[in-house]
Chain A
């Protein structure tokens, strides 16, 4: 699995120049931010009003972050496809693995907030 992932990453880097990848990441980040900023600001304000459901909101926030991660990779793939119509690398699988890794980090951060940081901060 790891070997396959490394092969796909290598093929991805061969197929696109660093400039093209950075440009695609930048575009995907900006477009995701356009959706993420109001969404996260709204969730932040909902949390401030309904603080007594804090744990539920943190779980919701983890889900939203996972969805935003999906959206970012969707935009990233779209940007790369628009740059080069014939892509040999299996971007779906490559990005799915990337997403899973990032999602695991989000879940760990969320759980740390629920069990460690919130009990410390809420005094």
Chain B
């Protein structure tokens, strides 16, 4: 719960003598107010709480719990019925002149007497006034008074204002059935834990624990992502088990990805190999075109594309050699060490073969009919061949990415 100034409005009319709560309404109300004071002051060190009974202000908002409790215990019964609108106005005046202007303002109103003389219009007006002054109101209805229920609901609705979809309500109405301790009901109500959850108030430890559990289970707790969304402090064994299983799954996925990469590269090699066998000048085209779909499928970075291209070229150049041919076959096992060795071997092959690429191409060019291999234009074209291949590949890759977008 964030910083808050809170006024607790007690009902001290004669109706509070009623014994429907144990021991009396008045003392049950006192007990509930006690709990509230504890919850509010402990949730934030600068939160202040004030007490008023009827229209009489007993303590203006203060951090001093002793003062508050002292006032709580000396609440005398008055013969007059309580005027809810007047007492709400007194409380909002006390909140208006609070010392610490930071933080929100809240009124917690206890009602245990029938609201006979009060029109619902007056209550709605009071609610709107609260809303305008950014004061939230929580109402605790005691004694099953049916006429009260609708009127208080109107007050709370007016104070809530327009409810926007997905937004948390700030004002609440809690009705306490007779025979139940009001403090028990309040401890699990949004009035005590702020509605937004995340309270660590010790007195309602069980409530807090349940909340933490649901927050984690809902996947909201990012801090526990390693433990599968379970707070490790709550259930260490379960958290460890989840963590181990998540790590295993991650390792399995990594192995799978490595394997797929190997298969892709071997496919690329096969494609460029076809290009070489089918035609002479088309070879370069085949080598350029083949990696592009592969890279698009795997969504690799540019540098990885280049490495892949080099691997493919190297393998297509060395296809005649038996060692390279066997290495081009997809690995049987998902053995990481073997994959590593394979990758090393291929990268070494790529280095070794880069020199031979241009030689082979020049041979092919010279063997073509009607082409002079010594022509300076062809010579320069051959020199730039490798560079062009790379550039072409880059452009192709960029285009692919744009298309993907």
User: Is A bound to B?
Assistant: no
Which residue numbers of A lie inside 8 Å of B, CB to CB? none
